[in-house]
Amino acid sequence: MPSDYHFWVYILSSRSRNLYVGITNNLPRRTSTHRDRLPGTHTAHYSIHRLVYFEYFRYVRSAIAREKELKH
pLDDT at 4: 79
Tell me the average pLDDT across 26-48: 91
Asked whether residue 7 carries a pLDDT value surpassing 50, the answer given is yes
Is residue 52 in a domain?
A: yes
The β-bridge partners of 7 are 57
| CATH number of the structural domain spanning residue 26 | 3.40.1440.10
Is residue 62 in a domain?
A: yes
Q: Could you tell me the residue range of the domain that residue 33 belongs to?
A: 7-71
Alpha-carbon distance 40 to 60, whole Å? 27
Number of domains, the chain: 1
Tell me the average pLDDT across 30-47: 90
Asked whether residue 1 carries a pLDDT value surpassing 80, the answer given is no
Mean pLDDT, the chain, as a whole number?
93
Asked whether residue 40 carries a pLDDT value surpassing 90, the answer given is no
